[in-house]
Structure 1
């Protein structure tokens, strides 16, 4: 029998039989991991299994290759913060959906796990959450091997007047460096580099650019699936803040 314990953020649940559910969690030391929760539809357990919930989990299986079974204990719920705020709910759904789609199964990403928990703990703080989400999404691309290089112009090597991102290389491009190709470039709002206006409109522009790489590099590289609709709802709400 194989067994381990860990801390985790709950990403998704789906029915399994009449009284059980399969949960997917993002764990600190074991990455994205799935398992069965027996009695997961019961009145006692079901309220614990809400997306974004912080859990203490124990996983058991006869073989490492088996689906296995989880026992869960609540650490803290994030449902109250999400349900009382449209932006928080959209953000929670987007984070969970993206992670369930793109994280490699059973591959640890401890530093990014810590960053994700910190982001989820900011839910409900609408004054800081959109910018924190943008930085998290940039970190997600970097963690998955598709990080953007915004340090200098890919064409001229300068680090001034960087206003575009190349959709091919993911590198910054200056206004002069883009030249006649400017209309084919993606926007590089200063907020992406930690400068300037962090308004909802500017963050949404930046998320348009990160969304391109999520869709055309990361997600299309995994499967022929679209970006989770929850993300589009989130970006729309951020643009209106």
Structure 2
């Protein structure tokens, strides 16, 4: 097996004294693990930083064998880890990708969307400028894995305007009028998810609550729940900014 690809570093764990197993998201072959000789050594740690873009080469005698992986840094996002909020966002979105995607299946839309989220975090002066991209990535991931939300029309009336809620049971939007009697049982649907544009802090918190509910229910059960610690760190930083 020989695979060469431009890939995004999603997760790395030490393996042996100096080696590491890295899980990278590639455009055509999806999430792939590989053993990096010396990957846990000091000189390689800045390369195998979550969120970095690397040129990856996987070699293995068979598809069942853990491939030997060599990487060359193409674009570093390590500097973003000096700022608590961007660091928390990158930690969360890459960890989410690593624990939810099955290995070896192609998800080109997710690869492109993850790179776009990371680029937005890098470029935007405020978290409100990239929060929408992060939430839309979470929505896309849910959809690609078979748990997509239907935000196009009201579950009760079929209306396509004034959608204000999402049913936690069906994952479908609900109009403001139809949902008013059941508002305490529905999840708010921030308008920016439908209309675009920059979101306020309340909108960001509501959007993260919305996607978080379905991610936790549908994808992050059992051992995968440990990744929710990274999400809590992100939510905590968002709350402090919103309240400050």
TM over 0.5: yes
Q: Give the SS at the match of 1:104.
A: coil
Matched, 1:129 2:141: no
Distance 1:224 1:168 in 2: 24
Q: Return the TM-score normalized by structure 2.
A: 0.90
Map 1:206-217 onto structure 2 (within 5 A).
206-217=207-218
Q: CA deviation at 1:53?
A: 1.3
Q: CA deviation at 1:105?
A: 0.9
Q: Give the SS at the match of 1:6.
A: strand
Q: Give the SS at the match of 1:18.
A: coil
Q: Give the SS at the match of 2:21.
A: strand
Matched, 1:91 2:92: no
Distance 1:19 1:233 in 2: 29
Given that residues 6 and 58 in structure 1 are in contact (C-alpha distance below 8 angstroms), is that contact kept between their aligned partners in structure 2? yes
Aligned equivalent of 1:142? 143
Distance 2:174 2:103 in 1: 35
Aligned equivalent of 1:117? 115
Given that residues 87 and 237 in structure 1 are in contact (C-alpha distance below 8 angstroms), is that contact kept between their aligned partners in structure 2? yes
Aligned equivalent of 2:57? 58
Q: Give the SS at the match of 1:219.
A: coil
Q: Give the SS at the match of 1:66.
A: coil
Q: Give the SS at the match of 1:12.
A: strand
Matched, 1:77 2:70: no
Distance 2:140 2:75 in 1: 24
Moved over 3 A (4+): none
Aligned equivalent of 2:16? 17
Distance 2:196 2:15 in 1: 48
Given that residues 191 and 206 in structure 1 are in contact (C-alpha distance below 8 angstroms), is that contact kept between their aligned partners in structure 2? no
Q: Describe the superposition over 1:55-91 as per-residue Cα deviations: whole angstroms up to 9, x where unpaired.
A: 10110111101111101111011011x1232211011
Q: Return the TM-score normalized by structure 1.
A: 0.91
Give the aligned length: 237
Aligned equivalent of 1:28? 27
Distance 2:203 2:223 in 1: 30
- Aligned-residue Cα RMSD (Å) equals 1.8
Which has more helix, going by share of residues?
2
